[in-house]
Every structure is written in structure tokens, then in C-alpha cells.
Amino acid sequence: MTTRETMLKLMSLPVSRFDGVVYTSDGCYIAKAIGDCGYNAFLGKPQPVHNGPGRDQMLETWAGLTPTERKAVHVLAAAPGDGSPIPLSKHFGVPSS
């Protein structure tokens, strides 16, 4: 799994459907569908982190990553290439280390 795919999985986005995600300057998330030419799938504004199956899945995924993979995810989120930095800890509850 690539670092981008791991980040999408931590954000509870299906890697089978999306090829990327950006955080816009107005605080929304939009995604790029696989095979699409741009970021056209509006995902919305983040909600407060809450317990549930999505959080459980994210924590399980995080636990399965090596320290190097964890660092790579945070580096990618900080400088995603498109859009603004993605605050994984604040918006998705991803541990900061």
C-alpha cells in the first residue's frame, strides 16, 4: 500500500474509489475519483472526532504501521502537493506520533 493510500484509509476514504484528497482553503475536503481528471468529489467539512467503527478502523490501521510508515503519512499530510496541509490529528484523530 502506498503512503497516499494509507493516508486515505486513515481518513476512512475507500482507496478503491478515490485516488487523492485535498483540504481546501475554505476548510472543505474534496477528492479525486480514480480515473477522473481532477478533484470533483465534494466530501464536506470535517466533523468533531468521535468514537465509532470508523475511528476503530483508523486506530487499527495506525497500529499496523511501522514508525517509518507513520512518519511518511504525517509528512505527506503536511505537504500533500495539492491543497492545504491536512490536519490528520485534529480532523481524524490520527495519533501525532
Mean pLDDT over 17-31 rounds to 93
Alpha carbon separation from 23 to 6, 67, 70, 77 (Å, rounded): 17, 25, 20, 10
pLDDT of residue 54: 86
Q: What is the pLDDT of residues 25-71, one digit of tens each?
A: 999 999 999 999 999 999 999 988 888 888 899 999 999 999 999 99
Residue 1 has pLDDT above 90, yes or no: no
Is-contact 69 6, C-beta < 8 A?
Answer: yes
Q: What is the pLDDT of residue 96?
A: 86
Above 90 in pLDDT, residue 94?
yes
Express as a percent the part of the chain with pLDDT over 70: 100
Cα–Cα dist 76/97, whole Å:
14
What confidence score (pLDDT) does residue 97 get?
72
pLDDT band at 72 (very low <50, low <70, confident <90, very high): very high
The CA angle 4-75-48, to the nearest 5 degrees, is 80
Q: Are 53 and 70 in contact (CB under 8 A)?
A: no
By CB neighbour count within 10 A (0-12 exposed, 13-18 middle, 19+ buried), where does 83 fall? middle
Q: What is the mean pLDDT of the chain?
A: 92
